[in-house]
Structure formats: C-alpha cells, structure tokens
Amino acid sequence: MSFELPGPTVSSLLQRTYDVHSGQTALVHADGTETSFGRLRDLAAGLAGGLAGLGLGRGDRVLIAARNCAEYVVVDHALFWGGFVRVAVSFRLHAREIAEIAEDCAARVVFADADRVTELDEALRAVGVEAKVVSTMSVGELAAHDPVPPAPAEREDLVWMPYTSGTTGRPKGVMHTHRSLLATIRNMMVELPPITDRDTMLQIAPLSHLAGWYGLVYTVRGARQLFAAEFDAREAVEAIGKYRVTAMPIVPTILAMLTDELEHGDHGDRAVSSMRTIIYGGSAIAPAKLARAIAAFGDVFVQSYGLTELPMPVSSLSQEDHRFDPAEPAPERLASAGRVTPYIEVRIVGADGNDVPPGESGEIWIRGDMMMTGYWRQPEETAAFLRPGSWASTGDIGRMSDGYLYIVDRKRDLIVSGGFNVFPSEVEKVIGALPGVAETAVVGVPDPRWGESVLAVVVREPGSDLTEEQVLAACRGSIAGYKKPRRVEFADALPKNSSGKLLRRELRAKYWAGQTRLVDG
C-alpha cells in the first residue's frame, strides 16, 4: 500500500507554530502589551473572517502601506489564514503611487496608518479603485469578527506580491507562491545562525521589505518580535537592552547610525550584549565602518544578497567571513556578497550568452526554487527576466573569485538609497512634466550616509529660469520622499550616443571616479 503526503505550505508551518508555541510571546505591542502565538492564531482567524465579511475571497489582494507595528503582523497572519494575497508596499510612497499599485493589482482592502486613511481613500477614488481603507489601529475591531476555518492552501497558490519598478518605471507585481516562500525560509535557515524560540527580533527596517521576510522565518521558529514605527538610534539601543534583543534585519545606513549611538551615547557596556545576529543587505560595508560596528556589537553580522524576484539569500557573507584584524589590510571578501547559498545556482554570463571565464565580470544569472512565478499581468516583462532553462537574468553585473560573488555594477539603472529602490524613470517623469524643462536624467551618486543618493541633471528650455527648489517641490508633491533628488544640477546638454540615446553611465562616471564599486546601498 502506498500513499502520498501533501507538501507543506507556509500556512501549515504557521499552524504548527501556533500549536507548539501557543503560550509563548509572539508580538510585543507599542504599549508594551504582548500577544501570544495562541492569541495570534485567534486574531488571524477573526481578522480573516472580518475580511471575508467585507466580501473578500481566496486569492483576493490586500495592500498594506503602513509603518511597522504588531498589527501589521496580525494582518500578515490573517492573509495566510484566509488565503488572501499580501501586497506590501513602502509606507513612504506618495498616496498617488499607492493608488496606482492598488489599481494594478485590483486590491480589495488597503491597510494604512491612521493618519493616512483619508488621504489614501481620496487617492483611490481618484483612480476609480473601490478598495476599503482600514486603519491598522482598527485591526483589533475587525478581528473581533466570528473566526473562519483556515483556507485550503496549495504550494503553487499566489500568496505574497511585493512590487518593484519595471524597466519603463511602471511598478511590477512580483508573484510569490507558498513554494517560493518555503524555499526562501529554508535558505534563510541554512545561512543564519540557529534560530530558536528564545530569540527576540527587533523590527527596525520596513516590514514591507527585507524585515518582513526575516520576520516570517523567525516566527516559524517561535521567536518573538517587537517593532519600531520610526527609526531612532537611541530608542533602538534602549529597546535592545530592555528586551534582550538577539536579532535585527537592517540596512547599512541604519547600522552606521546605531554604531554612532553606541560610541557616543551613555548606554553601558552591556547595552547590546544580547545580540547574536544582525542581518543586512543592499551593499557591502566599508572595512573601517565594519570594524567600528564589530567593536560595538561583536561578531554578529551576516550579509545577504537577493532581489525581489529572487529573495535573499542568493548568497551570504557569514559571521566568520566578517571577522578580520583591523590592523591588517582588509580581506577582499569583505567587498563581496558572500558565497552562493547551497540550494541556488549562479552563472556569470557574457554578452554572447555564454559563461565568462572565472574572475571576469558578466551579468549574474540565477536559478532556484525561491524564484517568482512571474510579474503580475506583465508577460513581456516576465519573458525579459526569465531565460531558457529556468534561469533569471538579474541585470546585476558581477564576478566570482575564490568562491565569493562580487556585485560590481548594474546593467539596469536602479538606484539603491538607504536600502530603498529608486528607478530613474519614475523621477524623470515628474521633472520632465515641469514647464521649462527640455530634458532630464536621474542617476545615483555616492553618498556617505545613504550609500547612493538621487541626482537630477536638468537641461532648461531656452529662456527658462527654472530653479532647483521648483524641481524639488514638484517631486515632493508627486513621489515618495526617498525618491526625491538630494540635489539638482543644470546642464547645457546630456551625453548621448549617435542615435540620440542617453548615455546614463557616462553621466554617472564623473561622480563615481575613484570608487572601487559602481553600486552602493
């Protein structure tokens, strides 16, 4: 007699977590109150019932545009419970940008911070989206609905759909299933130090991005989470000491601020002694800054590389890899993104589509079961990203050396500023619509605090007296603050080739002269 066991899903992993860790703390709220895993299960079932009561069915999209809070995670669990699709976006996006994404994915409900409910409701109506906007402060009320049974889940069901910018600047919904999330959870567990139910994770980075993925894997292991709605270095250090925090996912910019606080604040020698794992992504950390961070936190750092379409860790720089003697020349590996995760394959491909010789640079192609299934309703973009043999062409330029993957440039023009993605065409569209602008180009330039910052180069129309402040004001009114140029320069012309195509790399070159890497974060 033979039988086949059903494969696990993220939903089934969470069900087991609720049962095994029922009485343990899952979430610490802003007022210090705690929610156990058993109570989290009840809230998820009730909130899923509340969403069903609003007319939502399995597979419907729910958009979250909110600051970090315990209620955000309750929403996440309710979406798994009810079989809905999580569409998490940065709360920093302009209301118009959020509305456009809601329109694209046909969102039925939008969860947002209380102070943005009216603004978002108006923006949604302006583009004809009938989604209901719910404040995260109202999650408890909606969760008081009669609970519903967990929805059936299959491994290929769409479950998470983050958005990323396309090559035209149009946002793209990146479709992830239970299969790809399970693979990501496995890969994280492979590359991180052991996670147990004695861990506490402080969520400083946005749950819509890196932190949400890592929060999920820590939850599966029974760890508790606490949340910072806005980053404040002193408050973060105090929270680490008070709650004996053991883990944090962050971006290098935040790490630099925390290191400064520990060096100059009055916190005592044991302020961060509980910390065991700090996970960062986006870029390597300069050896001098890393030495300071290690002196402050200890040997706790893990770097991960990945894309929205191919979630990290595609490769990982381990805690052991981070160790070095600051008195000696920094080892080359500190500039890398680490070693490729065992369950993932990576190729370095030349312009002819063939693998380049070891040590030479080419486009990074990746294959693995954590890969997205495609872009939401964008088959041409999907076809451009996915290649024969189940390979994905990342657009990142890299090389392999001594087993380490190095990210040296971007084939495409994405800017990463403080861990957030900025696509130039989104900013150029706003500036180009201004009276007096003949043409404009936006590039990322080195920034000591943010890794990269946004620079707009503008060519004025003859007779125009357009100012930098007018350009910045237009951006403030239309796009998220992190996408706004840090400065504007005016030029007589932009560099172009013989066919009139903008030479963006040439434009960037003078700002990156002397830099060892042509990307940062």
Per-residue pLDDT of the chain (521 residues; tens, 9 = 90+): 444 445 799 999 999 999 999 999 999 999 999 999 999 999 999 999 999 999 999 999 999 999 999 999 999 999 999 999 999 999 999 999 999 999 999 999 999 999 999 999 999 999 999 999 999 999 999 999 999 999 999 999 999 999 986 545 678 999 999 999 999 999 999 999 999 999 999 999 999 998 999 999 999 999 999 999 999 999 999 999 999 999 999 988 889 899 999 999 999 888 999 999 999 987 778 788 889 999 999 999 999 999 999 999 999 999 999 999 988 888 999 989 999 999 999 999 998 999 999 999 999 999 999 999 999 999 999 999 999 999 999 999 899 999 999 988 777 777 888 888 787 878 988 998 899 998 999 999 988 888 899 999 999 989 999 999 999 999 999 999 999 999 999 999 999 865 567 888 889 888 888 675 555 44
Domain spans of the chain, in order of start: 339-410, 415-512
The dihedral through the CA atoms of 86, 90, 91, 93 has a sign that is negative
Question: In terms of Cα–Cα distance, which of 375, 371, 441 is closest to 413?
Answer: 441
What CATH class is the domain 339-410? Answer: mainly beta
Give me the pLDDT at residue 3, please.
46
Q: Is the dihedral of CA 246, 251, 256, 257 positive or negative?
A: negative
pLDDT of residue 165: 64
pLDDT of residue 131: 97
For residues 269 and 394, what is the distance between their CA atoms, to the nearest angstrom?
43
| Count of alpha carbons within 13 angstroms of residue 360, beta-carbon side | 9
Q: Indicate the fold that domain 415-512 takes in CATH.
A: GMP Synthetase; Chain A, domain 3 (3.30.300)
Q: Torsions phi, psi of 21, nearest 5? A: -115, 30
pLDDT at 168: 52
- CA dist 63 and 72 (Å) reads 11
Classify burial at 155, counting beta carbons within 10 Å of its beta carbon; exposed 0-12, middle 13-18, buried 19 or more: middle
pLDDT at 499 (0 to 100) = 55
Positions of E strands within 308-430:
315-317, 339-340, 345-349, 362-367, 374-375, 386-387, 391-401, 404-410, 415-417, 420-422
Supply the angle between the helices 210-220 and 10-20 in degrees, to the nearest 10: 50
Do the two domains 339-410 and 415-512 of this chain adopt the same fold?
A: no
Residue-level pLDDT at 227: 98
Closest to 132 measured CA to CA, from 123, 121, 122: 121
